[in-house]
Structure 1
Amino acid sequence: MNQQTQTGRGWPGLRRAPAHIVNGIVVSIGVGLAHGLFGAFAGRHAAQMAIVGAVCASLADLPNTVDRTWNRVLAAGLLGSICAAMVMLLEPHPFALAAGIAGIAFVGLMAMAWGPRAGPISFAPVLALVFAMGMPPEARSSAAATAGFALGGALLYLAWSAIASTMLQPLYRRRALSEALGATAHLLRARAAMLRGEGSDEIGASALRALVADEAVLAERLQLARDLLFPAPDTARNRGETAMLLHAIDLRDVLLASRLDLDRLGSDAVALALRARVADALGAMADRLDATAHLLGGAPRPQAVPPGEWTPERHFAGIGIPAADPRGRLVPALVERLGHLHEDVVAIDALQRGAEARLPVAREALRAFVAPEGWPIATLREHLAPRSPVMRHAIRTGLALGSAYLLALALPWAAHPQWLVLGVAVVLRGSLDQTLARRRPRLVGTVIGCLLVLGFANLQSPALMTAIFLVATGVAHAFALRRYLITAVAATLMALLQAHLADPAAGFAIAERLADTVLGAALAWGFSFVLPSWERRSLEPAVRRAMQALREYAEWALSIELGANVSQRLARRKAYDALGALGAALQRSAAEPERVRPPVDELSAFLDGGQRLMAHLSAVRLMLARRSAVLENPEAAGALRAARAELARLLTEAGGAQPPLPQYGLADLPLQPPGRDLLPWLQRRLGVAIDEAHEVRGEAHRLLARLAAANPQAKDFAR
């Protein structure tokens, strides 16, 4: 685990490349193998059809475990090959082909019922029909031959993918951990920005939006790292990396708790100084995490604070709080919270340097945190309903693509009708916000790609053109989930070069490509309003899921039972995911028409209240985890049981009239720091958590009441 450890043994040139770049290189090589082998043994046209199967299969080839990669690549390749054959059967009949395109799009998009992991598989049929429609007449043989060559390309790519994925597992695990640490560091800086912007509505609102986005990115990176590291073989290196990931997950929890009581400090010089010290501390820890993340990512260690130089006690020294100021009692608690953060950061750095790893959870138990991989039919059945966002998007996309094909046939430049179909397919997303986010980079990327093709127009070498096509394939794949503008540029190169390689005499048709992209983006925007899935439609069940997740986390966070660590962690992740889903809905709803937007104020208040309640519960959990001796006190055990029962009641029932709640201010802080007497701090934190649960329940009631007023079918929370 030291700095000299090499990742990706056998791939020395890739040791410093990010995982998505390595993955893009793998895709380019795999597609190139399919093209080269089929071209050598079956001819140019067979090679073109083999590329269809290989590219479709490659869509699902992402950094993941070998078994998951194998299953997904095979599914994408099979679907793509079948759809290519269907295009060959239906192409002589334009209206039948339009209906076939709509049906293929509908079936493909219904795969999204299984979640984002099905995204690449759902797009494979659409890409297959686009590529198959681009084949010149002389390359078209029977549907069986088309399916055979495409399937052959897919299977050849599958074999290559399995070999490459097996060899690259160490590199993928290390890069996933590096990105998880980098996202954690970014979240630390976002929280620091909020503290520095306290008192300014404009800066605070901007920092809050950034925090929601950063939380979503962190959740995605942590889950990918779990999926790669937790099932890994039990070696010393994998144990060390797993321990680093567990510290990063706990660090996120401690960071959430670190926000407590800071909103009660006021806005005078003392308050500003305290917030600035906390923000500076978070920034210093983010620098340390970034240093470790860079090293894990293959880069040299950047300049960072040496271990042991920074301590929370020294950081808060000399702040000058008057003795009578009750805020002085909060400083020891802030020191302790930042000390816990610092311990996790230092532990991560030490593990990277080679310290012995000790896992707090049995390795076998960690598999419960790996995302499910099955494809149960019951999940699909749940979305076979008119109100399902998945089914509505599938119908919307099918209508859009079928209409785009018929429109393309009527246009004066109908040489490549598949381009208009593709232009709609890549822009039209499940929500208006996502569609608008795709529209501009697609337009700009197409213009840049066309300019690049103009530069290649004088090249007379088919081999060089093929090499550029393969590189563009890898680049488009590598940046699809990172920077879509780069993917749009590469995809334009792919489309123009594929058409040119299939039929060199037809030229590059750059003007047609530009026109189809503009028209496709307009059609995608227009069809976003056909059977729309506005965010407010799905909020009522999402709020109920969030309340249930908070209730379950409260039950386990306040548990005094031994051996509850795994259950606590599972409940914590479920609560994070539930609140994250609401945060994502809030972000997406900003692009929706004002008349259909959800009640933003009530949703924001509920989301913030849920985050605060999570912070209180995490603070209690940390108290118990680090000082379990307090549980030997009957008074502490009784307070925990009472708070657990009260939180279960509050987070189950609907809102309504409640008795006046006690107000916990800074003047009520215990006189002794938590290091000397933890019980008063525990009792206070439990009381504040109960107050927060009252607020959360009330916010849920107000939010659901607003939703019910706008949508009579919304159910009462208590039901």
Structure 2
Amino acid sequence: MPAHVLNGLSVALGVGLIQVLFGSQASLHVAQLVSSGAVFASLADTPTTPTRSWPRVLMAGLLGALSTWVVASLDPHPRALGLAIMALVFISMMTLAWGPRAGPVSFAVILSIVFTMGVPDGTSPWALTGWHLLGSACYLAWSQLTLRGLQARYRSLTLATALQATAQLLRSRAQAMVQGREVDAATQALNTWVRDEAQLAERLQAARDLLFAAPPSERAQRETAILLRVVDLRDILLASRLDLDLLGDDALADRIRSSLAQRLRTLADALDLAQDRLRGVQHPSPPAGPSLSELLGELQTSPRLAPDDLRARLLPALVNRVRHLSDDVSAIHRLLDRSQTDPTLSAAELQLFVAPEGWPLSALRPHLSLASPVLRHALRAGLALGAAYYIGLALPWASHPQWMVLSVAVVLRGNLEQTLSRRNLRVMGTLLGCVIVVGLAQVSSPLLLMLVFLLAVGLAHSFAIERYLVTAVAATVMALLQAHMAHPNTGFPIAERVADTLLGALMAWAFCFVLPSWERRSLPRSLPRLLGALRHYAAESLQASGPTDPASAVRQRLARRQAYDALGVLAAALQRSSFEPRGVQLPLGPLTALLDHGQRLMAHLSMLRLMRLREGPEMAQAEALNALAQANQTLQALLDPQSTGALEAGIEANALAHKQQLLPSEPPTDNALPWLHRRLQVTQLDAARTAASARAALQALREPARG
């Protein structure tokens, strides 16, 4: 069971217990009011640590209660209520200045508005606010209790999802190896790789936030060691794409790529077994596949390489990378068997990799300008939801105007890509949910309807991020059942729900073009940061102290994560821009080249770090250190955002003139220094191409948008 599903079950159980408690001690009406406060506070209850969770749940409860009082107080004044909704939505969306962790908190305000507008007349604003606050407080206590009890399980399940994403990335890399080298195939492979990279980065950070804050124990140390292995494995996997272009396009090259791809799939299967074991599903030992010496012999003899074929020099290096991947996968299984305990970073060092927490007011300062996407989205959302409310009042079926507000709120996202995706899934989910409610309308048992309502709460919470279609179906069932329980005599207003959803989805799409935040607005600021992050990682990777020095190793890991994050920002911007109007889309050519060469540069730097870590004393010789220092100096000049590009032409010409001669005659296991020199030269080549692509992209972005 994934962590988000277990979390959803915990949420449903907590809301159900609160409803049962107050239903037995007070009345069904009071129980519904209290459970409503619990539901919008529960939005911020996610699989994380108790110390990170309680401020989020508390803030969601307080902002929800504030919205309750405002909406209930202005309910007799519909026109003023519309203005208040705009203001509340604007405030809630501005909380996104604190990053993604504020997303559930911001939506608590929306849900509170919807719940309050659906409460029958007769409850005073202060009483309604009090009951909602009481429900939020009860849920805060429940979430702290369950989080403490489920911490160990959450850690294991979150680590399992990171392993699952790593296995998927291995399969993506294997698929890219055997795909054709045509432009369309290469673009598709890059897009798939970027998508899987983004998913893995998100899951690795979720695992860091849980595992690196765990109290000391043998289990926590073992799982932390596994996570660090997964991070290193991702590094080596990125390097697996290097040098494959030197294989050529003949039948032998296809055979080599196919064999390497099959080995990656075997390792992915082994990771699947590992993540199953973390979930509690036991399997026999992972399949070993051919040994690496057998793999090398197979590649060299089937079909047989000619004695003068330069590719024979490359094969040991390619197999060596597979060996490193295999070593890390085997180490993960040994850790699961408790037969190995890797040394881990200290608690203080691990905390450096945990996402920041807290709600400093200073985070709002950069977003007090119309150049900020957060401010633009807050204004856009406030106008959209206010318009939805007023239109809902004017419609002939205006008994539930809050549904129009909710439909717009759940569809309208900060960019057009996510809005279009949410629009389609929301409409489909509403239709499916209404079909389910048609069946439930034949049920006369209030207890059964209550259980279905609680199940819908849990499902809507569980899949809000992973599978929004499930959330859309569950949310529709939840909304219709809640309306029916509040007004049993009105039946199930299914037709109205469908109409409100369709109109709300259309409005959300239309409002995407009000104060739009097109990607080309923010990218000119992101590209210099990307070059700076790559430059910093190069400096940390090539410094004399090397990866064996503990302090240096920590700095390298931090620099590496910052570089990955910067590349992820560019990849996400490219994906989002593909859904924007053609006249404002990002320049695809130079930015795709920048992403490609930036990833190659990261791969080269990772290979250099691993060579220094695993090749022994050779890397500490004066010749090696001098070469590293000179290469670092060149990289710092190339990746300087203020660079004019004077070095690039010479590096490009030199690399093209000596492309084949750069392959050393001895395998890296016999003499690593020639391979170090080669790696440094191709690293400088991709750094030059990265810098050139960045300048070309910036030049294209300075051109005025069309339309």
1:497 aligned to which of 481, 501, 517: 481
Partner of residue 706, structure 1:
700
Deviation at 1:219, TM superposition (A): 0.2
1:164 aligned to which of 146, 154, 161: 146
Partner of residue 36, structure 1:
20
Partner of residue 233, structure 2:
251
Moved more, 579-588 or 686-695: 686-695
Moved more, 664-673 or 237-246: 664-673
Q: Does 1:654 align with 2:654?
A: no
1:527 aligned to which of 511, 535, 542: 511
CA contact (8 A) 2:2 2:161 kept: no
Q: Secondary structure at the match of 2:414?
A: coil
Partner of residue 314, structure 1:
294
2:678 aligned to which of 673, 684, 699: 684
1:550 aligned to which of 534, 539, 551: 534
Partner of residue 188, structure 1:
170
Deviation at 1:376, TM superposition (A): 1.6
Partner of residue 363, structure 2:
379
Partner of residue 68, structure 2:
84
Partner of residue 424, structure 2:
440
Partner of residue 324, structure 2:
340
2:216 aligned to which of 231, 234, 238: 234
Deviation at 1:693, TM superposition (A): 1.1
Q: Does 1:399 align with 2:387?
A: no
Deviation at 1:362, TM superposition (A): 2.4
Query: Per-residue displacement from partner, 1:176-227 (whole Å, max 9, x unpaired)?
Result: 1100001001000001111110324433322221111100000000001111
Distance 1:303 1:358, change over 3 A: closer
Identify unmatched segments of 5+ residues in structure 2.
none
Query: Per-residue displacement from partner, 1:615-659 (whole Å, max 9, x unpaired)?
Result: 111110000111241243111111111111111111113343444
CA contact (8 A) 1:655 1:697 kept: no
Q: Secondary structure at the match of 2:650?
A: coil
Q: Secondary structure at the match of 1:387?
A: coil
CA contact (8 A) 1:420 1:519 kept: yes
CA contact (8 A) 1:655 1:698 kept: no
CA contact (8 A) 1:134 1:416 kept: yes
Partner of residue 669, structure 2:
675
1:388 aligned to which of 366, 372, 383: 372
CA contact (8 A) 2:246 2:311 kept: no
Q: Secondary structure at the match of 1:560?
A: coil
2:558 aligned to which of 567, 570, 575: 570
1:214 aligned to which of 196, 216, 235: 196
Q: Secondary structure at the match of 2:352?
A: helix
Deviation at 1:303, TM superposition (A): 7.9
Q: Which amino acid aligns with 1:221?
A: R
Query: Per-residue displacement from partner, 1:214-261 (whole Å, max 9, x unpaired)?
Result: 000000000011111111111111111111100000000001112111
Q: Does 1:301 align with 2:283?
A: yes
Query: Per-residue displacement from partner, 1:420-451 (whole Å, max 9, x unpaired)?
Result: 00000000001000000111111111111111
Partner of residue 560, structure 1:
544
Moved more, 272-281 or 594-603: 272-281
Q: 1:403-482 residue pairs with structure 2 within 5 A?
A: 403-482=387-466
Partner of residue 715, structure 1:
none
Query: Per-residue displacement from partner, 1:63-88 (whole Å, max 9, x unpaired)?
Result: 11111111211111111111111110
Q: 1:58-137 residue pairs with structure 2 within 5 A?
A: 58-137=42-121
Q: Which amino acid aligns with 2:81?
A: L
Partner of residue 350, structure 2:
366
1:613 aligned to which of 563, 584, 601: 601
Q: Secondary structure at the match of 2:442?
A: coil
Query: Per-residue displacement from partner, 1:376-419 (whole Å, max 9, x unpaired)?
Result: 21111111110100110110000000000000000000010000
Q: Which amino acid aligns with 2:699?
A: A
Partner of residue 272, structure 1:
254
Q: Secondary structure at the match of 2:562?
A: helix
Q: Secondary structure at the match of 2:339?
A: coil
Deviation at 1:44, TM superposition (A): 2.2
Query: Per-residue displacement from partner, 1:270-328 (whole Å, max 9, x unpaired)?
Result: 2111211211111111111111011112334278404xx54222113233211100011
How far, CA to CA, are the matches of 1:303 and 1:208 in structure 2? 33
CA contact (8 A) 2:537 2:560 kept: yes
CA contact (8 A) 1:654 1:701 kept: no
How far, CA to CA, are the matches of 1:208 and 1:147 in structure 2? 51
CA contact (8 A) 1:52 1:80 kept: no
Deviation at 1:38, TM superposition (A): 2.2
Query: Per-residue displacement from partner, 1:463-504 (whole Å, max 9, x unpaired)?
Result: 221111111000100111111111101000111011110111
Moved more, 393-402 or 312-321: 312-321
Q: Which amino acid aligns with 1:492?
A: T
Partner of residue 205, structure 2:
223
2:522 aligned to which of 538, 545, 569: 538
Partner of residue 6, structure 1:
none
How far, CA to CA, are the matches of 1:274 and 1:117 in structure 2? 45
How far, CA to CA, are the matches of 1:359 and 1:526 in structure 2? 55
Distance 1:544 1:711, change over 3 A: farther
Partner of residue 266, structure 2:
284
Aligned length: 692
Partner of residue 180, structure 2:
198
Deviation at 1:549, TM superposition (A): 0.5
Taking structure 1 as the reference length, the TM-score comes to 0.94
CA contact (8 A) 2:2 2:158 kept: no
How far, CA to CA, are the matches of 1:288 and 1:700 in structure 2? 39
Deviation at 1:459, TM superposition (A): 1.9
How far, CA to CA, are the matches of 1:711 and 1:555 in structure 2? 36
Moved more, 415-424 or 369-378: 369-378
**Percent of counterpart pairs with the same letter?**
50
Partner of residue 575, structure 2:
587
Deviation at 1:375, TM superposition (A): 1.4
2:32 aligned to which of 40, 45, 48: 48
How far, CA to CA, are the matches of 1:313 and 1:202 in structure 2? 35
CA contact (8 A) 2:530 2:566 kept: yes
How far, CA to CA, are the matches of 2:181 and 2:682 in structure 1? 23
Moved more, 646-655 or 434-443: 646-655
